[in-house]
Amino acid sequence: MAELQEVQITEEKPLLPGQTPEAAKEAELAAQILLDQGQIHSVETPYGSVTFTVYGTPKPKRPAILTYHDVGLNYKSCFQPLFQFGDMQEIIQNFVRVHVDAPGMEEGAPVFPLGYQYPSLDQLADMIPCVLQYLNFSTVIGVGVGAGAYILSRYALNHPDTVEGLVLINIDPNAKGWMDWAAHKLTGLTSSIPEMILGHLFSQEELSGNSELIQKYRNIITHAPNLDNIELYWNSYNNRRDLNFERGGDITLKCPVMLVVGDQAPHEDAVVECNSKLDPTQTSFLKMADSGGQPQLTQPGKLTEAFKYFLQGMGYMASSCMTRLSRSRTASLTSAASIDGNRSRSRTLSQSSESGTLSSGPPGHTMEVSC
């Protein structure tokens, strides 16, 4: 019998000189905690400083998920319920995330001095290349809500080669008309800034119901120490330019887009109109019942499943298990073609909690939903 020989195995992660195993373990734990908490960065741009938080590490050949929040919120109050949802963990393990805070909206932000010229929404979009250059990221999948959805759309129009996909919640691509402007001014005479912003974020039915969620966000906005900054962001949103989307024209989004809006939400009509102006082969429309004005807060589970399906259509996460969405046989063929690399999709999605169905693609193609 051959004599056994002693083999010396070298550690995969050798200790640093003078470092004990206990110290190495503590350092590794501290690094993991840092990743879980996010790494906060700030970068100077031609229009001022912008703060963003990075979670995770870049994945080879995968874009970053970049989010942009709505007026009255920051990245935490806008997106935390969605990205902390259990089923979302499968997604965030596969992508690095960058959460951008609009200037002056980050936690602990100082109040801007009187007379400060806040950037326009177009200028806020022009800050994003500085963020990506700082991080050395080449492409992103954008997730924006309200004003954030507009900003990401403007960025995608200006830099189409760097955007692989967009999830746009409550987008209003239109500038305010004279009637809208007059109504806004009249409302400003009788309502406070926090109340106007709450009316932008939530439906009148939600505000009248005064649920625990509404009470929470009313308190966040009303008692925000940076309320003056929030008002500046609000004014920039109300002075936005028209994105001038035109189906079949030169001004359109070139990447796959998922439009999302809640049933009876304040921006339902605007999102429906936006859907009519975008390329139908690249656009999915998800109208969520029982979700109110902020689907990412009220229905994170349903939105997570729709996001997974959207990513699969782009060729990512092909082996992901869909825990809530089960495809019908007719839709599965279309889905499989998308997963195999066909990024040209024609889907209009409408969701109903009562019927539990999503319409998908050409007439007659449906997708069953278990929610």
pLDDT at 335: 36
pLDDT at 248: 87
Helix/strand/coil (H/E/C) assignment for every residue in the chain: CCCCCCCCCCCCCCCCCCCCHHHHHHHHHHHHHHHHHCEEEEEEECCEEEEEEEECCCCCCCCEEEEECCCCCCHHHHHHHHHCCHHHHHHHCCCCEEEEECCCCCCCCCCCCCCCCCCCHHHHHHHHHHHHHHHCCCCEEEEEECHHHHHHHHHHHHCHHHEEEEEEECCCCCCCCHHHHHHHHHHHHHCCHHHHHHHHHCCHHHHHHCCHHHHHHHHHHHCCCCHHHHHHHHHHHHCCCCCCCCCCCCCCCCCCEEEEEECCCCCHHHHHHHHHHCCCCCEEEEEECCCCCCHHHHCHHHHHHHHHHHHHHCCCCCCCCCCCEECCHHHHHHHHHHHCCCCCCCCCEEECCCCCEEECCCCCCEEEECC
pLDDT at 45: 97
pLDDT at 23: 60
pLDDT at 76: 97
> What is the CATH code for 33-314?
3.40.50.1820
pLDDT per residue of the chain (371 residues) written in tens, 0 to 9 = 444 444 443 334 444 555 666 665 555 444 444 446 799 999 999 999 999 999 999 998 999 999 999 999 999 999 999 999 999 999 999 999 999 999 999 999 999 999 999 999 999 999 999 999 999 999 999 999 999 999 999 999 999 999 999 999 999 999 976 566 555 555 655 579 999 999 999 999 999 999 999 999 999 999 999 999 999 999 999 999 999 999 988 999 999 999 999 988 999 999 999 999 999 999 999 999 989 999 999 999 999 999 999 999 999 987 665 554 444 333 333 333 343 444 443 344 544 433 333 433 333 222 323 33
Rounded to two decimals, the pTM is 0.80
Domain ranges of the chain: 33-314
